Amino acid sequence: MSRAHRFPARLDVKGGTVDMSHGSGGRAMAQLVEELFIRHLDNAWLRQGNDAADFPPAAGRMVVSTDAHVISPLFFPGGDIGSLAVHGTINDVAMAGATPLYLSASFILEEGFPLRDLERIVAGMAEASRQAAVPVVAGDTKVVERGKGDGVFITTTGIGVVPQGVHIAGDRARPGDAILLSGTIGDHGVAVMSCREHLAFETEVRSDSAPLHGLVARMVEVAPGIRCLRDPTRGGLATTLNELATQSGVGMLVEEERIPVAPQVAAACELLGLDPLYVANEGKLVCVCDAADAEHLLSVMRADALGQEAAIIGHVVADAQHLVQMRTAFGGHRIIDRLAGEQLPRIC
């Protein structure tokens, strides 16, 4: 079957742009879907062309998660909005200890957006999906008028299945539990900031954007009793620890010296007046587990490519105020608070 014959001319990916007809439901949209989206994301479900993808129910508890991606810039060192949209949702599903099975993707495109860039993004998404072995089985495209979007917004939804005997949730941390972190913090946020128009500083920092379900599977296998998993994305490690502390009704005490930060990230944060604890990550996880499991889990994490710099960063304590505190490398203590809003640069 040669689908190309259905359209008089091939989609002009090189020089063309998105226009309102690409969202109209007509021939132009069909061509965009076929020659760009399906060509890259190709799989049996998409090829069926039905309104809904069908698959048999999995044995076990299922989880679903959805995530909208509105990142600026769309392309950054170490990834793009397409790969990020795949990793972000896979990771959210994986944080339940689940094996992600299927993804859906919804695109909101701005009129005038170059098709060449859209193809790069969809190709990035397809590559990420292939590497993670989690197919995108359903999708949707809408086009908004110029000025009413920011190029491309992508919302992905993922579903997965939780292995027997695994029950991971944010409210299960208990005093005495160990807190593990899978690697360096702040890489994604600094990589993205480094290429924002008004900042543009030179750095070799790359986003850590990566799918964590493989690492999670190995962790869950050796320690099915893991209590909490969460990926410290927006708001960084500090926000994630606070969320877990609040949900579980406990306090936390972490050691500054044990939290890995790449030297380039630390330097960029120092210059910009940011605290790496609050900078976003896209390929890291925080794990709370029984202290007895901590060392074994740590060795399993370190054996994985995505957990080589994993560390036990602290432990859960009883605290009626649910505070997260840090013992500074300097020997004092400070509260690691939630941010009031966006982290603002300091003046001097």
Q: What letters, b where the CB count within 10 A reaches 16 and e where it falls short, cover 238-275?
A: bbbbbbbbebbebbbbbbbeebbbbebbeebbeebebb
Q: Smallest gap, in angstroms, from Cβ of residue 345 to other proteins? A: 4
Interacting residues with other proteins between 196 and 235 (CB under 8 A): 198-199
Mark the segment that binds other proteins (CB under 8 A) among 65-73, 139-147, 296-304, 340-348.
Answer: 340-348
Question: What is the distance between the alpha carbons of residues 48 and 168, in angstroms, rounded to a whole number?
Answer: 35
- Of 123 and 339, CB closest to other proteins: 339
- Of 14 and 198, CB closest to other proteins: 198
Question: What is the distance between the alpha carbons of residues 315 and 63, in angstroms, rounded to a whole number?
Answer: 28
Q: Smallest gap, in angstroms, from Cβ of residue 273 to other proteins? A: 8
What is the SS3 assignment for 108-127?
EEECCCEHHHHHHHHHHHHH
Site for other proteins contains 148 (CB under 8 A): no
Mark the segment that binds other proteins (CB under 8 A) among 82-90, 225-233, 284-292, 316-324.
Answer: 316-324
Site for other proteins contains 270 (CB under 8 A): yes
Mark the segment that binds other proteins (CB under 8 A) among 36-44, 51-59, 128-136, 266-274.
Answer: 266-274
Question: What is the distance between the alpha carbons of residues 252 and 266, in angstroms, rounded to a whole number?
Answer: 23
Site for other proteins contains 4 (CB under 8 A): no
Site for other proteins contains 330 (CB under 8 A): yes
Site for other proteins contains 249 (CB under 8 A): no
Specify whether the CB–CB gap between 124 and 197 falls below 8 A: no
H or E element in which residue 47 lies: helix 44-48
Q: Smallest gap, in angstroms, from Cβ of residue 328 to other proteins? A: 5
Site for other proteins contains 15 (CB under 8 A): no
- Of 199 and 292, CB closest to other proteins: 199
Q: Smallest gap, in angstroms, from Cβ of residue 298 to other proteins? A: 21
Identity of the residue numbered 315: H
Please count the CA atoms within 13 angstroms of the CA of 35 that sit on its side-chain side: 22
Query: For tokens 């630390």, what's the residue?
Result: 266
Burial degree of 130 (CB within 10 A; 0-12, 13-18, 19+): middle
Site for other proteins contains 1 (CB under 8 A): no
Q: Smallest gap, in angstroms, from Cβ of residue 52 to other proteins? A: 39
Q: Outline where DSSP puts E strands in 145-285.
A: 152-162, 178-181, 228-230, 251-255
Give the Å distances, CA to CA, from 80 to 73, 123, 191, 263, 278.
Answer: 8, 10, 11, 24, 21
Site for other proteins contains 299 (CB under 8 A): no
Mark the segment that binds other proteins (CB under 8 A) among 13-21, 123-131, 146-154, 326-334.
Answer: 326-334
Interacting residues with other proteins between 163 and 192 (CB under 8 A): 175
Q: Which of 253, 259, 285, 306 binds other proteins (CB under 8 A)?
A: 253
Site for other proteins contains 325 (CB under 8 A): yes
Site for other proteins contains 334 (CB under 8 A): yes
Helices of type H across 223-343:
236-248, 263-272, 294-302
Question: What is the distance between the alpha carbons of residues 37 and 189, in angstroms, rounded to a whole number?
Answer: 28
Interacting residues with other proteins between 105 and 134 (CB under 8 A): none
- Of 129 and 248, CB closest to other proteins: 248
Query: For tokens 């439901």, what's the residue?
Result: 25
- Of 52 and 330, CB closest to other proteins: 330
Residues forming the site for other proteins (CB under 8 A):
175, 198-199, 251, 253, 263, 266-267, 270, 272, 317-319, 321, 323, 325, 328-335, 337, 340-341, 344-348
